[in-house]
Amino acid sequence: MKKAFKVMNELRSQNLLCDVTIVAEDMEISAHRVVLAACSPYFHAMFTGEMSESRAKRVRIKEVDGWTLRMLIDYVYTAEIQVTEENVQVLLPAAGLLQLQDVKKTCCEFLESQLHP
C-alpha cells in the first residue's frame, strides 16, 4: 500500500493524472480525488455526494490557510507530518475539519508532551 501512495505522490509532484485543484487563500494544490477521498471522510463526502464540488475541477476551502492545507494534503500522500509549537494551533482544527484522526491524535500528543515535558 505504501508503494501505491508513493507512486501517487510522485504523479502528483509531476502534476500527472491529477483531477482536482484544491485552493486555499492564494495557494493551489493539485491532487487526486480518489486519494483525498480514501484518507479523509471530509473529502469522501465532498467528492462522492451531490455537492457541486463532486464535479468541480477547482475546489476552494475557505476555513484553512494555504500552508496548513498543503501540509495536510502532503500528509495524506506520505503519512508524515511535522507538528511543532509554530504549527500545532492551526494543524489541530484543520485536521478536525478534514477529519484526519491520526493528525489530530499526533497534535494532541504533542500538546500533552508540552504540558508534561
Q: Transcribe 20-61 into DSSP letters.
A: EEEEETTEEEEE-HHHHHHH-HHHHHHHHSSSGGGT-SEEE-
Cell numbers 508524515: residue: 80
d(C-alpha 117, C-alpha 104), whole Å: 20
CATH class of residue range 2-115: alpha beta
User: Tell me: the pLDDT tens digits for 15-32?
Assistant: 999 999 999 999 999 999
d(C-alpha 98, C-alpha 41), whole Å: 7
Show me where the domains of the chain are located.
Answer: 2-115
The pTM score is: 0.92
User: Tell me: the pLDDT tens digits for 26-84?
Assistant: 999 999 999 999 999 999 999 999 988 889 999 999 999 999 999 999 999 999 999 99
